[in-house]
Structure 1
């Protein structure tokens, strides 16, 4: 799955993720809402009873390849001094100037970052003559970008395949798997199963069938 598609998926998963709160924080003022794992022997949240707030679970995590990345797809690096910029790659990293850095040193960091072509996420002091170069628009993955991905995909759509039920096909499309070819190329089926809530056995069977069909088509 491409990085662009994974970022779009991460954005949709984040929108659906519930707020994890401490048990009965809504009942007592003295109990803060910040998450604490429920441990009581009769605790309903620990038992995952229906109607109680959700607890953190592996299925809520973002895909591994884009976990921790900035929405633009860059790896965010906090910089404290000019020397911290040396090992950074402008094609992979984006710079965030630490809050404890003064304006004088921040200007030095920005000048060096400009030389290396690095993007600064929080320009502290922006010179008028280089404002257009230093401040770049943040690339946000929108639904329109996902539509472009769909148009680029070639092959049989999952919704047209008889042996994949409509509900499962819809779930797979929600995470960016639109065609048999895309399904056949999937490798991390365990993670896909956790995200879509489709049984792993079913996914393994479908991927195997998709690969066989594509192989027959090539021959």
Structure 2
């Protein structure tokens, strides 16, 4: 059973999310909070697997709360709730350790799938959303090859093995672990191990940060192909 803490200053939004998520047999909403401070306190007490947290709230906002949530013992996976897919604060939330973001007008199936994926440590962003994040929130993503930032990003990727670079390419294209496993003819458990090692070697918190770094390095599919190996 996946336990969830829902955080939003509007009780109607919390009620909606509780109803939607509670309709899935493997999900249970164990608590609610109306601001970031209450979210951290509730997470310490309830130890949920996943926290869905709004960005803009009176009192402590979701961005600063995310920093504390991901540092808790047995830290939950944090999903940012937002009204707009181009919210200017989403990138900050991801950098603060959130695993991704979910639009409040997403379908019930999308919300349930996102929570399941986050709890499993998998990608919760579709390829379309991942690419949009990279294009919108990565700093100057259309840099020409050979720039200082690209060189620095490639240097950061140097500890990765050839297989880890291959996995990173597919991750950066928004693939979930199951899709990566099929694409690379690996077991899903092996893919999860590779992803964990990639994040550890690069000292990153989540897959989206890894995707952005790969994008900066020109590693994303369709850009530089296999010339990074």
Quick check: TM above 0.5? Answer: no
State the structure with more CA Rg.
Answer: 1
Question: Which has a greater percent of helix?
Answer: 2
TM-score range for the pair, normalised by the shorter chain length: under 0.3
Question: Which has a greater percent of strand?
Answer: 2
